[in-house]
Each structure stands twice: as structure tokens, then as C-alpha cells.
Structure 1
Amino acid sequence: MARSSVLRSTAWLWFLATVAVLVVGFRQAIFLVPMEETMGNLQRIFYYHLPHAVLGLIFPYVNLVASLGFLYWRRRDPLKALTADALAVASAEVTVLYVGICLGTGMLWGKPAWGIWWAWDPRLTTALILWLIYVSYLLLRRFSPAGQIGVLAAILAVFAAIDVPIVYMSIQWWRTQHPAPVFGPNGGGVDPRFYPAILWNLAGWAMWGIFLIAFRFALERRRQIAEQDAALQAIEASLETPQ
């Protein structure tokens, strides 16, 4: 009970800190950083598009590590395997959310910037493939036979992780309409005055993603434990001697 209370208090503190950071990030992005000269206020969507794009390429590796952990522990330590599987589910769902927001904000930005909602650009196409893989991952978990869900989903997680570096490198490997990266050795650079909005929002949406993964992980573990308890009760009932 004491441990549960500590976890609940920690979750609330994390949630409040996350909201505070997101509020600061919103204020920086909308009111404080200067307007970009070329695109004007339209550019402010960048402060939401970029964090979700970055984190949408990080959370798949949480899913990958958890999936590999499940494969490693499923015969050695079933309890650890279930825990890893719960983390895999949680990170996959948040990946779908973040990559979906990345695609959505990119479309909202692309319409006024390019004149079209969607272009079959290498970066956009590979990001869409990543999103579709994770949608398939969740559908697989929902409709596959119960005994095979974890293994099949873990194998699909490996293929999803392979697509991540392809998404990242697509604007360097192929000709693309998508802007060049703003960070890194091949980055196009960004005005230092924009850094506060970028960093606050990146931190805030990272904290929010971690919160969602932790929350969804806790729900999945609760479901797993309820299933285990129900299975044990069914076994005990079947072993009872008829009166």
C-alpha cells in the first residue's frame, strides 16, 4: 500500500511538472519567440511538429527493447516477460499517437507551404510506413491467437525499428521536398532565438510521452494480473472435488 501511494504521488508530481513545462513551451512558441521572416506565424507549428517527429523516432526503440526483453524472458522468467510485454504495448500505442501527430502537423504545414496536403516525398512516405507498421502492430495484438500475440508482435517490432533509421536518413539519401534537418552536422541551422521554444516543447512533449507510456503500462499490467487471477481461480474451481 505504501509503495502504491508513493507511485501515485510520483505520477501526480510528474503530471503537474509536465503541464508546467508544456505551458512554458506554449508561451515561448506562440508569444515570445520572434516571427519567422519567410513563413510568418505559420512557422510556429514547427515547435509542435519537431518534438513529435523526434520522439516518434525514439519511442519505437523503447518498443524494440521491450519486445526483445519479452523474447528473452518468455521461457526464462514469465513474470519479467509479461512486464516487458506491457511496456511494449504502451510504447507502441504512444508511438502511433506521436507519429500520427507528426504527420498531421506536417500536413497542416505543407498545405500553405507547398500548396498540397500530401506529397509522396521520401520522408513523408517512410514516416507513413512507420505509422502503418505500428497500427498493424496494434491490430495484430488485438486479433491474433492469444498464445502467439507476444511473439508475433515482437517480430513486427523489429521490422518497425528497421524503418526508423530509414525515416531519419531519407532526406539525405534521396531528393526530397522536406526541409533539411535543423540540427546535426548536416543541419540547415536555426536562429538561436528559436531555441527556447524548441527546447521547452521538446522537453514537455517528451515528459508527456513518458507519462502516457507509464500510465498505459500500469493499465496493461493491471489487466495482465486480472487475467492471471481469473485463470488461477478457474484452475482452482476445476480441481475442487464435487460435493
Structure 2
Amino acid sequence: MGSPRWFYQFSGRLLPWLAVPALLLLVGGCVWGLAFVPPDYKQGNSFRIIYIHVPAAVVAMGAYMIMAVAGAIHLIWRMKLAAMVMKSIAPVGAMLTFLALLTGAVWGKPTWGTWWVWDARITSVLILFFLYLGVIALHQAFDNRDAAAKACAVLAIVGAVNIPIIYYSVEWWYSLHQPASIKFVGESTIHSSMLRPLMATLTGMYLFLGWAVLLYTRAEILDRERNTRWVKDLVLSSDPRGPASNKG
């Protein structure tokens, strides 16, 4: 499973199975939550931002943990495919974290009266965004790919300590941010009519993460393996002019 060639071939078959459900769940969940769920008795219609904000924030944290695990696998077993996955997650995770910060600011303006506060959770999510940018920057800073992968793996592993800080920040410190409404242990505080579309968009966002990371990883594989025979054969077979066009 660590073979780039095998991964490229296998992931190509997975892409439509991730893309179609992701699109249906994201669009359907957003329409359901934005148009059909009743207003919250305290926040009114402003609460509806959760159908974008919460999935983006949760998946951004999950993506970072996957990136850290991929970094650890690369450091321990020197698996180059793990380094490719780690590199591919960074831009997707950064985009999701930025979306979470943006939608949080949109929600904060009518709720708190300001776009930004140095709240414990918001600040730790901002640190998560900088960690993603740091991984991206480190990859660009090294000419040697192996050295870049090692440096990024160390940063990803060390930065993973920020994930539990984000999750428990509303319990450890005084925070304007509300506590988690969905609880795995104990009773959730969100009504089922609001929870169902939220779970749809959350599932869709995880599927989108898988789809986007596969696309990035496939592109990275082609770039790194471009001098191998199987990639050259793949390029020739996909040439619409046919193999004959490459003669002479």
C-alpha cells in the first residue's frame, strides 16, 4: 500500500465515490439547515452559520491529526508516500481553517458585537492556521525533498499538541465561545432537527477532505515519479494524438 504507483491507480477509482456523496451531502445539508430548520430561540437565524463553520473547524482539526500521523510514519518507516500525503493535506487543511475563522467572524459580529476577540478557542484555531502555513512554507524552503519532509514531519508532530488545546479551551479557560453542543459522552445539547443537517454537512466535509487530499497526492506522485517508466507510459496512453505522435 506504500507504493506510489499502486496508490495512484487505486485512488483514481475512489475519487467519484468521494466527490458525488460529498457534493450531495454538503449542498443538501446546507439547504436543509439554512432554509428548513427553525430559528434558534436565542440566536435567531444567525446560528445557521454552524452548517459551514462547525464542519470546517472539525475537519480542519481532524486533517491536522492525519497530517501528524503521516509525518510520524514518514519519520519512523521512511515511507515516501506518507510524506506526499502530509504535504497534500497542508493546503486543504489551511483552507478549511481559514473558512472556520472567516465564518466564525461572520457569526461573532451579530452575536458578540465584534468580528474578532482574542478568545482561547479562536486564538488556538488561528495558531492551527499558522501551523498549516508553516508546513507549506517549509516545503518551499528546502531544495531537498527529504530534508523538507523531515522538517515538516517534526513541525506537524509538535504542533499536534494544539488540537486538544482547541477542543478543551472552552473548558480550561474563560471563553466567550460556547461549549461543544455535540458530545460523544453524555447528552448533546443541540436539538435533533438541527443536528441531522449538521451531521450531513460534517460527513460531506470529511468526504471532501478525502477527495481533495487524494487529488493533491496524485499530482504529487506524478511530479515525483515523472521519470519512472510507469508515469511515462501513463502520459503516452493519455495523449489524445496517440503514441504515433511521439515518434520522430
Interval containing the TM-score (normalised by the shorter chain): 0.7 to 0.9
Alignment equivalent of 1:132, drawn from 130, 133, 139: 130
Counterpart residue type for residue 209 of structure 1: L
- Do the aligned residues in 1 keep the contact of 2:94 with 2:133 (CA within 8 Å)? yes
Q: Distance in 2 between matches of 1:179 and 1:215?
A: 35
1:59 aligns with 2:63: yes
Q: Which residue of 1 aligns with 2:139?
A: 141
- Do the aligned residues in 2 keep the contact of 1:134 with 1:160 (CA within 8 Å)? no
Q: Shift in Å at residue 4 of structure 1?
A: 7.0
Q: Shift in Å at residue 164 of structure 1?
A: 0.7
Q: Shift in Å at residue 160 of structure 1?
A: 1.5
Residues 9 and 153 (structure 1), Cα distance of their counterparts in 2 relative to 1, 3 Å cut: closer
Q: Which residue of 1 aligns with 2:106?
A: 108
Q: Shift in Å at residue 139 of structure 1?
A: 0.4
Q: Distance in 2 between matches of 1:34 and 1:129?
A: 34
Residues 208 and 128 (structure 1), Cα distance of their counterparts in 2 relative to 1, 3 Å cut: same
Calculate the TM-score normalised by the size of structure 2: 0.83
Report the number of matched residues.
Answer: 223
Q: Distance in 2 between matches of 1:199 and 1:30?
A: 14
Q: Which residue of 2 aligns with 1:175?
A: 174
TM-superposition CA deviations, 1:16-49 (whole Å, max 9, x none): 2221122221221112211112222211111111
- Do the aligned residues in 2 keep the contact of 1:180 with 1:187 (CA within 8 Å)? no
Residues 171 and 117 (structure 1), Cα distance of their counterparts in 2 relative to 1, 3 Å cut: same
> What secondary structure is seen at the aligned counterpart in 1 of 2:71?
helix
Q: Which residue of 1 aligns with 2:163?
A: 164
Q: Distance in 2 between matches of 1:7 and 1:65?
A: 19
1:13 aligns with 2:12: no
What runs of 5+ residues in structure 2 fail to find an aligned partner?
230-248
Counterpart residue type for residue 207 of structure 1: L
Q: Shift in Å at residue 208 of structure 1?
A: 0.8
Residues 136 and 90 (structure 1), Cα distance of their counterparts in 2 relative to 1, 3 Å cut: same
Q: Which residue of 2 aligns with 1:240?
A: none
Q: Distance in 1 between matches of 2:228 and 2:101?
A: 38
Query: Matches of residues 183-222 of structure 1 in structure 2 within 5 Å?
Result: 183-184=182-183, 185=185, 189-222=189-222
Moved more, 21-30 or 193-202: 21-30
Q: Distance in 2 between matches of 1:31 and 1:68?
A: 43
Q: Distance in 1 between matches of 2:155 and 2:227?
A: 24
Q: Shift in Å at residue 228 of structure 1?
A: 6.4
CA RMSD across the alignment: 2.3
Q: Distance in 2 between matches of 1:186 and 1:175?
A: 22
What runs of 5+ residues in structure 1 fail to find an aligned partner?
75-80, 230-243
> What secondary structure is seen at the aligned counterpart in 2 of 1:176?
coil
Q: Which residue of 1 aligns with 2:47?
A: 43
Alignment equivalent of 2:81, drawn from 63, 80, 83: 83
Counterpart residue type for residue 55 of structure 1: V
1:155 aligns with 2:148: no
Q: Shift in Å at residue 188 of structure 1?
A: 6.8
Residues 4 and 176 (structure 1), Cα distance of their counterparts in 2 relative to 1, 3 Å cut: closer
